[in-house]
Amino acid sequence: MYEFQLFETAKNEKFRGNFYLKYYDQLIVEYVIEEEEILFSHKYLDERMKENFETWHFYEKEKYTTFIFNFFYEIKKINMMSSFEGELVEEYCRVSLGDQEYTSIISYQNLSSPIHFLFYPGTRESRLLYEVPISINSEGQYASPIPIHNMLKKETIERMWDPFRKKTKYRLQLLNELR
C-alpha cells in the first residue's frame, strides 16, 4: 500500500475509502466499513486487474483489514481524550476556490502527529487533517494527512480547538469558528 484515503461522508453514512497497491500493478482497492466488517472491492478494468485483486484478496485481505481497524481505533482514541494540550506550530492564510482558507497546524502532546485545522469562514466549513501514525507498508511510510473531522465528535473538535482559539494570529477572523 502506498496511499490510503478516506472519503468524506455524511455523519451517519458508512465509512469508505480506497488505497493503492504498489506490487499489484497500482491496483486501486476500495473499502467500505460495515459494523465489524470491512468489504473490499475493485472496479475491474481488465482481466489482469481482476486477477490481481483476487490474488491480493486471498493472500493479504486480513493484513489490510487489521490496518484499517487499527486506523479507526486511533481515531476512537482521539474521541475519548478529555483534554488537549500542545503547541500552535504554524498558521497561514490563503485564497482557495474563491474563499479564504485559514490553516492552523497544532502539535498535541498526546498525539504523535500534528492536526491541521482548515477553516473556510465564507462557507462556514472546517476540516481536520491527521496523519495517523500507523505504517502502511514495510518501508515504514505513513499515509498522507487524511480528513478526520467527519469521524470525530463535535465536542472533541471543540476541545481540540478551544485552547488555541485565542492564540492564533487570525483570532478575529476565526472568532466564531467551531462554536
Q: What is the pLDDT of residue 9?
A: 64
**SS3 for 133?**
coil
Answer with the residue of higher pLDDT: 147 or 41: 41
Q: What is the pLDDT of residue 143?
A: 58
The yes-or-no verdict on residue 44 having pLDDT over 70 is yes
Give the predicted TM-score (pTM) of the model: 0.77
Phi/psi for 126 (5° steps) reads -145, 155
* Residue 83, C-beta contacts closer than 8 angstroms, at least 6 positions apart: 159
Q: What percent of the chain has pLDDT over 70?
A: 87
Alpha-carbon torsion angle 160, 99, 146, 48, nearest 10: 170
